[in-house]
Structure 1
Amino acid sequence: MNWLESSENFWEAMAEDDIYTKDGTVDYKGNPANKSKTGTWRACPFIIGNEFCERLAYYGMSTNLIVYFTHQLNQHSSVATRNNQNWSGTCYITPFIGAFLADSYLGRFWTIFWFSIIYVSGMSLLALSASVHGIKPRCYTDDSCNPTKTQSAVCFIALYLIALGTGGIKPCVSSYGADQFDDTDEAEKKHKSSFFNWFYFSINVGSLIAGSVLVWVQDNYRVAVPIDKSRLHETADAESDIKGSRKIEHTKNLSFFDKAAVQTQSDYIRGSLSPWRLCTVTQVEELKTIIRLLPIWATGIIFATVYSQMGSLFVLQGERMDTHVGKSTFSIPAASLSIFDTLSVIFWIPVYDRIIVPVARKFTGHKSGITQLQRIGIGLFISIFSMVAAAILELVRLREVRRHNYYELKEMPMSIFWQVPQYFLIGCAEVFTFIGQLEFFYEQAPDAMRSFCSALQLTTVALGNYLSSLLVTIVTSVSTRNGKVGWIPDNLNYGHLHYFFWLLTVLSVLNLGVFILIAKWYTYKTPVGTLR
């Protein structure tokens, strides 16, 4: 019997051993690679696709770079040639940096990951340096540009970020693809040879498209925006092309989109302008409006994350407190305390409308007392204190737990009504932020897209809940390492829920800072015929 058992154990061990690769490769966590779940052609299409996109971006930019140096940066031919060759040479020397980091410290996966971020940052900065007013060179004609030293410096910083990024990708990506095949498996070794063929194929397809299509587009569709903005295309009618929509005044920022309203001979089809090839100023401004709204929209996600705590962690916190009303036997559910948020909203709306607005109007002269962005910002500021109140309450509660050894008590003798301030503060913040967002997104949305922008504003609540879920997942994973109970255990008396509330406090402060910067940058939409 013992012989049979040992024999079975032997074959089970052999079968389990067959699951993993035998050439020393590991997964991205550093564990032995499971052949049935990772690697082979499951992963290679993504690696090949990534290489295709990287080469398309690289050659699409580098092939015509010397033309950009001479025409846009106003460099002499010899200077442009030297700069182009120096940069190209750097792109092929930096792989030593990436190779060293990959082999000695990071591994190929994480080297590709982090250097791809550097690469994308460089490409983004390069695009901005060629398109954003103030950063791009000022050109009077296609061949007459006068860049400042700063503008040229931004361009070269972007280029050498790309050179550094490509240095981390080039030496690792082919090896990383080949690593997906087990060297000790004859069938997989055949596939590895095939991988190198398709890998090099993707490089050349990317190069082919970049050197033909992208370069042709760069040379033939590089439209110059006229200095006189009245020359941009717009309808002569009182309304825009979209029935029921007002025309919008031209704005200076995001001016690279103005190219869509520049008339060229190719915009005419059979003697008339094609609406598919030429936009009006209003249509361009509508796109600008949506783009300007997005950063404001994004700052609402952190607020929605704070707001979502009323239905989750506030309730769990309340469950560990005394839910009785006074000394009576009447007990209220912890979730019912959300009525204080509702009562706060009911209280603050008339106070805001009948007291705050008239008083603020006397000082600011603004029809609404304060601007919509100021209203949103005040709400974001107030929401910080709701998290501070929740964190302090949890600190006090845990102090009582430790002092009186209440660890196993489901309800400790501390009234749940101590939670009222945090609910009341969120209700106050809600009146400022949520209602401010409703008005702001309605007022700033293009006339024909107001329903869309209202829906966009509502998605912050969805993303706030998702972000809260993600934060809880990350915090739980990190804080429960090495057998610790973590920040949010089943029994909160053993946990550190206040740490999570402090985390949200910090995120809210950072979010408010970002919002203030964005609000200063924001340009309000101005319909034609109205005064700023």
Structure 2
Amino acid sequence: MNNLGLATTEVEVAKRVLGLTLIWLVTLIPSTLGAQVNTLFVKQGTTLDRKLGSHFQIPAASLGGFVTLSLLLSIPIYDQYFVPFMRKKTGNPRGITILQRLGIGFLIQIVAIAVASAVEVKRMHVIKEFHITNPKQVVPMSIFWLLPQYCLLGIGGVFDAIGLLEFFYDQSPEEMQSLGTTFFTSGIGLGNFLNSFLMTMIDKITSKGGGKSWIGDNLNDSRLDYYYGFLMVISIVNMGLFLWAASKYIYKSDETKEFNGGCVQMEVKSLDTSPLTI
């Protein structure tokens, strides 16, 4: 019976890790979207008017601080208002399931990229209006046009970034708790790598045969709005895959083993097995 119990435990652990891996795979694209904060968003900002007053110029990368600021402001609102409100509606102690939390975060990310694409369309319109071609020429458009996309990613982080850490830690097998941290950090790292890979490949493909690169060295003569549109499309496809994976996922159960006369009695209390619905 001991051998049978051990084999059963190993099978359950393997199934648990497989389920976590499936969810991990569909979080890589959202991690790629988050990587835009330190790459293309900054590149966008360097082309815009960054003056604040007559003598000070805002560093383009400093707008990344608004992601952190909006995240910090949103956390108390989430905990104090959103969770209690949803708890009354759903009866779930968390307000919503962890996967529902992730899904909302991923949806906000898609909206953020859509906003970034719209701002880029506006920037291209200003470039055409003022006949700007020099890569060092400043586009007469305030850098604060980029604030909505930064703030949306910060708000989304309350759902997806924090939710991801909570999910992987909470759902990892009891004897493999460090696995949760590994899934979380590796997803962020691979998301950044995937971002660099996509940018390199899109640049090569779109500039092939003398075409205009979507992400060229001269951003004033590129089509960054097309690239954001591309990210939006693959994010929507990935959202569909996430919804499918979430509907198949079974949450970890509390298992209490009691040994009585050499027999194993197992009491299973389901934490939450409801599929993701948004």
TM-score normalised according to structure 1 size: 0.47
Give the match for residue 525 of structure 1.
252
Q: Is 1:338–2:76 an aligned residue pair?
A: no
Q: Distance in 1 between matches of 2:183 and 2:125?
A: 43
Aligned with residue 198 of structure 2, among 471, 486, 508: 471
Distance of 1:283 and 1:488 partners within structure 2 = 48
Q: Structure 2: which amino acid aligns with 1:513?
A: G
What do the CA deviations read for 1:494-528 (whole angstroms, capped 9, x no partner)?
Answer: 10011111111111111111111111111111122
When residues 428 and 234 of structure 1 are mapped into structure 2, their CA distance, relative to the original with a 3 A threshold, is farther
Partner of residue 295, structure 1: 22
- The reply to whether residue 506 of structure 1 matches residue 233 of structure 2 is yes
Give the Cα separation in 2 of the matches to 1:390 and 1:407.
21
Give the letter aligned to residue 54 of structure 2.
S
Unaligned runs of 5+ in 2: 256-266, 271-278
Normalized per residue, the structure richer in strand is 2
- Match in the other structure for 2:167: 440
* Contact 2:215–2:224 (8 Å) recurs in 1: yes
Question: How far did 1:234 drift?
Answer: 5.0
CA–CA distance in structure 2, aligned partners of residues 356 and 386 of structure 1:
21
Equivalent in 118, 121, 124 of residue 395 of structure 1: 121
Q: Could you list the per-position Cα deviations for residues 341-382 of structure 1 after superposition, in whole angstroms to 9, with x for gaps in the alignment?
A: 011110111110111000000000000000000000100110
- Rounded to whole Å, the distance in 1 between the matches of 2:253 and 2:173 is 10
Matches of 2:180 and 2:10, distance apart in 1:
16
Q: What whole-Å deviation, never above 9, does each CA across 1:83-116 have from its counterpart, x for those lacking one?
A: xxxxxxxxxxxxxxxxxxxxxxxxxxxxxxxxxx
1:490 pairs, out of 217, 220, 224, with 217
Q: Which amino acid is the alignment partner of residue 388 of structure 1?
A: A
List runs of 5+ in structure 1 lacking aligned partners.
1-232, 236-260, 262-277
Equivalent of residue 141 in structure 2, options 403, 411, 414: 414
Q: Which SS does the other structure have where 1:414 is aligned?
A: strand
Which structure: larger Rg? Answer: 1
d(CA) in 1 for partners of 2:91 and 2:238? Answer: 28
CA distance in 1, matches of 2:237, 2:22: 14
Amino acid in the other structure paired with 2:22: P
AA partner of residue 527 (structure 1): D
Q: Secondary structure at the match of 1:328?
A: coil
Deviates more, 1:451-460 or 1:329-338: 451-460
SS at match of 1:413: strand
Matched, 1:366 2:92: yes
2:105 and 2:156 in contact (8 A); partners too: yes
Cα distance per residue 1:199-241 (max 9 Å; x no partner): xxxxxxxxxxxxxxxxxxxxxxxxxxxxxxxxxx557xxxxxx
- In the alignment, the residues of structure 1 paired with residue 151 and residue 43 of structure 2 have an alpha-carbon distance, to the nearest angstrom, of 18
Report the residue type matching 2:88 in the other structure: K
Q: Would you say the 8 A contact 2:169–2:179 is kept in 1?
A: no
| 2:51 corresponding residue in structure 1 | 324
Query: What amino acid is the match of 2:252?
Result: K
> How far, CA to CA, are the matches of 2:140 and 2:192 in structure 1?
31
Task: Quote the Cα distance in structure 2 between the aligned partners of 1:360 and 1:456.
Answer: 28
